Structure 1
Amino acid sequence: MSDGPSRASLSDWGLEPAVDYIQRVQRSDGLICWYPDGPADPWDHVESAMALSVAGRREAAERAYRWIADAQHDDGALWATYGDADGEEGAHDGDEPRKETHRSAYVAVGAWHHYLCTGDRDFLESLWPTVRDALAFACRQQAPTGEIYWTVGADGAVYEDALIAGCASLYKSLACGAAIAAELEHAAARDRWLEARTRLGAAIRERPDRFDRTWESKSRYAMDWFYPVLCGVVTGDPAQERLADGMDRFLEEGLGCRCVADEPWVTVAESCELVVSLAAVGRVERAREIYEWLFQWTDDEGVFWTGYQFEDEAFWPGERPTWTGGAAVLAADALSGISGAADLFTDPVSE
């Protein structure tokens, strides 16, 4: 989706410090925590691993995916979080341990992304059982109406409600899983996942009543706005219209994208995902303009802060998450065509 050769490498974008930071934070077992000695979650772990793949840090990226294979439960799931200070896997900030479908399934996106970056079929083959079981876990939680339920408790109880952003992510995971299955000639799995994806997409587009039924609507969060575009659920003119409808609500000119519509807080990761969403609908110059704003939110080393509270004029919270740098690398790739996976989110044909 690049419209020219400008800034065609991570060094040109000044992103090497972000990648170096991800690699420094990565544990010896492959897990990429949010920040040194912090917690981790499987979705953000994969996003950080994808940045390593774009940067050509193959050994580090592959260690990250092997961690998922080693940590995966017999049912194909992963805990929602890992590495909390209290040592309780699956929980964070006092929550009960759980297995979230979109976090468990995102390995499919990472595995396909790594293959597009490297062409390493042997490594893709080695990840096939992990991808197969992760998507099987997610598909077992699919409702008759198409949405995929959010989470399963440690006791096996299914929480029968769904998230727009989470299901959009699952839509992308199913697409990438189907691409892997096609590449490795697992036709039955491919067909099964494409059918589940079709039903899921229809639910997201046509059945808003199936989401946020048991909790307050998440529509105030930017991810609910652009994730259906980012993940290919909504395309073409409807995607253009969806993004246009939310711009005044979420975009702060010169700063970035608000994480939550009613909070004076722009976040780098959401801004980067908006950048990729805009590139996906052909608005590459606007995407690049917004992306350029985000480099004011780095520290002296060039590592991104989570975001900026513009009423208090302060970085908040005072953290530098690995996944924020990961999102920045993926946005640069989408804009500049740095890796073989540059079109993963901007060209549905690549699925």
Structure 2
Amino acid sequence: MIDVDKTAAFIAGVQQPDGAIPWFPGGKLDPWDHVEAAMGLDTAGRHDEAAAAYHWLARTQNPDGSWYAEYHDGRPADLARDANFTAYIAVGVHHHYRTTGDTTFLTTLWPAVDAAMSFVLGLRAEDGTVHWRRRADGTLSPELLLTGNCSIQHALTCAARIAGELGCPRPEWTTAAARIRDAVVHRPGRFLPKPLAMDWFYPVLTGILGTAHLDARWPQFVEPGHGVRCVHHEPWTTGGETAELALALAVHGDHDRAAQLLDTLDHLATGDGSYWTGYNYRTRTIWPEERTTWTAGAALLAHAAIHHDTATTTTFGRSPGHTRSR
């Protein structure tokens, strides 16, 4: 059972005075997990702290619309600029707006969202899929990542919704999202194969495919009583992946299975509302020994969706062109 107030207080306790949310005290920050933690804050009613996290992004955005892949103590630590990390601000800003109805916030963050989408679309391949990152030396990484592209199409959809709310339509974003969805559904071999649970459930979490897609590989990735394996061939379950799969199930209406899955996080819970990142069920050991803000954020989002939180289910609802299965 998730203690919403304690888990949100844990995230807020790690958040720095300038709004930045690192993984844990003294740890690194990446823009994607920063947003995940901020969305968790919003589900618990900590809207001021969540807004501060998005304003931090607006202040630190690079002139080209991107963010660096990693920061430490407010300074860039990895100068690569990831497409999906940059895109994810749109998901968080949309979620904050749906939670609060704050149009002033939406207007203030709009330039950052607009610039971020421009950067991301500048990394497209000819077929509309998006390359992983622009390296620190400025060259384009050739990798096409399935989870990353699913997340980008979700962000483009959220960004287009924001644009519509503000009367600044960006139909090219909707078209770009549709091209990525087409690739995921019809050309999955286009993406770099990885043994990751994220590559299995992210097409569902981001509204491209329905839950029937999960059935064939459920036993491969879900360890009963422990949650979701991060990679299918290792005895290591992780709280983040478990919570995100529960979120995917909940937004598609499978609340019972989502709740059962989220309950498996209890073995990772601590007394202060935080969660250990992962657990090796073969050696019965916590690994790594860290309690991350993004794991807490994912748990809060899943809990919110299971309890029919409209802002969360709207943000992670089915995308236009949703396909029931592959």
TM-score norm. by structure 2 comes to 0.94
AA matched with 1:65: Y
- CA shift, 1:265, in A, is 0.6
Report SS of the residue matched to 1:305: coil
- CA shift, 1:203, in A, is 1.2
AA matched with 2:139: A
Q: 2:278 aligned to 307, 316, 319, which one?
A: 307
User: Match of 1:47?
Assistant: 36
- Where do 1:224-263 residues align within 5 Å? 224-234=199-209, 239-263=210-234
- Give the root-mean-square deviation of aligned CA atoms: 1.7
AA matched with 1:193: W
Retained in 1: the 8 A contact 2:69–2:82?
yes
Report SS of the residue matched to 2:131: coil
Q: C-alpha separation between the residues in 2 aligned to 1:280 and 1:266?
A: 22
Retained in 2: the 8 A contact 1:50–1:113?
yes
AA matched with 1:344: T
Report SS of the residue matched to 1:34: coil
Report SS of the residue matched to 1:22: helix
Range moving further from structure 2, 53-62 or 294-303 = 294-303
Question: Is 1:282 paired with 2:282?
Answer: no
Q: C-alpha separation between the residues in 2 aligned to 1:240 and 1:27?
A: 38
Retained in 2: the 8 A contact 1:146–1:202?
no
Report SS of the residue matched to 1:122: helix
Range moving further from structure 2, 152-161 or 333-342 = 333-342
User: Match of 1:27?
Assistant: 16
User: Match of 1:195?
Assistant: 175
Q: C-alpha separation between the residues in 2 aligned to 1:88 and 1:123?
A: 25
Retained in 2: the 8 A contact 1:106–1:170?
yes
Report SS of the residue matched to 1:89: strand
User: Match of 1:9?
Assistant: none
Q: 2:76 aligned to 89, 103, 106, which one?
A: 89
For residues 80-123 of structure 1, the C-alpha deviation after alignment (integer angstroms, 9 at most, x for no partner) is 11007xx86242xxxxx300000011000000000000000010
Question: Is 1:126 paired with 2:108?
Answer: yes
- Identity across the alignment (%): 40
Retained in 1: the 8 A contact 2:251–2:317?
yes
- Where do 1:173-192 residues align within 5 Å? 173-187=155-169, 189=170, 191-192=171-172
For residues 201-254 of structure 1, the C-alpha deviation after alignment (integer angstroms, 9 at most, x for no partner) is 111111223211xxxx21x100000001100112xxxx2331001101000011
User: Match of 2:48?
Assistant: 59
AA matched with 2:102: D
For residues 293-338 of structure 1, the C-alpha deviation after alignment (integer angstroms, 9 at most, x for no partner) is 2122111223111011101101110000000000000000110024
- CA shift, 1:145, in A, is 1.2
User: Match of 1:151?
Assistant: 133
- Where do 1:162-181 residues align within 5 Å? 162-181=144-163
Q: C-alpha separation between the residues in 1 aligned to 2:2 and 2:67?
A: 34
AA matched with 1:276: L
Q: C-alpha separation between the residues in 2 aligned to 1:143 and 1:230?
A: 24
Q: 2:197 aligned to 199, 222, 228, which one?
A: 222
AA matched with 1:104: T
Retained in 2: the 8 A contact 1:41–1:81?
yes
Retained in 1: the 8 A contact 2:208–2:319?
no
Q: C-alpha separation between the residues in 2 aligned to 1:137 and 1:329?
A: 30
Q: C-alpha separation between the residues in 2 aligned to 1:115 and 1:34?
A: 24
- CA shift, 1:56, in A, is 1.3
AA matched with 2:76: E
User: Match of 1:293?
Assistant: 264
For residues 109-141 of structure 1, the C-alpha deviation after alignment (integer angstroms, 9 at most, x for no partner) is 000000000000010000000000001100111
Q: C-alpha separation between the residues in 1 aligned to 2:2 and 2:96?
A: 21
User: Match of 1:6?
Assistant: none
Retained in 1: the 8 A contact 2:157–2:319?
no
Q: Structure 1: give runs of 5+ residues left out of the alignment.
A: 1-11, 92-96
Retained in 1: the 8 A contact 2:10–2:272?
no
Q: C-alpha separation between the residues in 2 aligned to 1:322 and 1:172?
A: 22
AA matched with 1:181: A
AA matched with 1:201: R
Q: C-alpha separation between the residues in 2 aligned to 1:173 and 1:134?
A: 10
Q: 2:3 aligned to 14, 37, 47, which one?
A: 14
Retained in 2: the 8 A contact 1:334–1:346?
no
Q: C-alpha separation between the residues in 1 aligned to 2:77 and 2:108?
A: 25
Q: In the comparison of the two structures, how many residue pairs are matched?
A: 321
- CA shift, 1:173, in A, is 0.3
